[in-house]
Structures are given as C-alpha cells and as structure tokens.
Amino acid sequence: MNPVLKNRLIGLAIAVLVFAADQAFKGYILHGLKLQLGQSHYLLPIFNYTLTHNYGVSLGMFTAASEAQRWALVGFTSLIAVVVTVWMLREKKLADIAALALILGGALGNIKDRYDLGYVVDFLDLHFGEWRPFLVFNVADAAITIGVLIILARSLLIREKAPEKPAETAVES
C-alpha cells in the first residue's frame, strides 16, 4: 500500500476513534451515571465528572441564544470540519495527518451534540481545590486542543530543509 494512502487511512481511523470515544463518554455520563445538569461525580481529588451544557463554541464564546444561532453554529463548525478534512487528505506526513484527525474527530463529536441536543455536553472537570485552570470540557475539546497544539508546534519548530542546489561550476577565463 502506498505510504501516503496508509497515513491518510490511519488519520481517518483516528478521527473515527476520537468521535466514537467522545460519544461513548457522553453516553456514559448521560445514561450510565445519569448526571443532571450541574451535578458532579467524584473521580479523583483533582478530577470530577461535572455535567454542563455549552451553548457556545470554544470557552463558551459566541453563545447560541436562538435556534437560528444554533443552526448557524452547526453550519459554521461543519464548514470548518470540511476544511480540516480536505486539509488532512492533502497532507502526506503522518504527524500532520494525525493532528488534523484529532481536530476532525473532536469537531464531529461536538457538531453531533449541537445538532442532536442544541448544545455540547461537557463533563471533564479538572480542579485544584476551588481553582479550575480550564472550563469544564469533553473528549472532543481535548482532542481538538491537542491537535491544534501539535500543528502549532510542528509549524513553529520543524523546518523543512530546502532542496540543495547543485554547485555552480566556475568558468575559467
């Protein structure tokens, strides 16, 4: 199998796995633990499941206060998912494809929530006493964040070597 095709198939598999894991965890929170909005389930001294509904996008920004805004967010995030998919299918290196796959899988998980429920189910609550370094988030959000950080790190830290030009031969006179 062509190595580039193999990398792209691995990327698609990563996106599907992220989407499936996100939806499975959300199902567990809603139907297994049956948490109610605002209710917490203790896991570790620094980590709980706390059910919240996110009507906005990243960090709760651009809250959809109406049905029209909800569907605008579904459309906008779906457009972003299409762009990420095209970008992923144009890449050749597995690290770039995997990072984009994390973003795609996460985006699809959050799009499905917003489409089905009108909001995104968030439940991962990292805290140190009363201090929370993050808002409550979900598996999709974590995957998106990790994917973006990988892309940023690779674009800032990894430089492609320019192809070497053949040495010019000096003309003797």
Q: Which of 22, 96, 113, 141 is catalytic?
A: 141
Residue of 155, 18, 17 whose CA lies nearest to 95:
155
Conformational region of residue 59, where left means phi above 0, alpha means psi within -120 to 50, and beta covers everything else: left
DSSP state of 120: E
Cα–Cα distances (Å) from 16 to 103, 131, 142, in that order, read 11, 33, 15
Give catalytic status of residue 22 as yes or no.
Answer: no
Q: Which of 22, 96, 113, 122 is catalytic?
A: 122
Give catalytic status of residue 141 as yes or no.
Answer: yes
Show the beta-strand stretches assigned E in 11-162.
Answer: 40-44, 47-54, 120-126
Catalytic residues: 122, 141
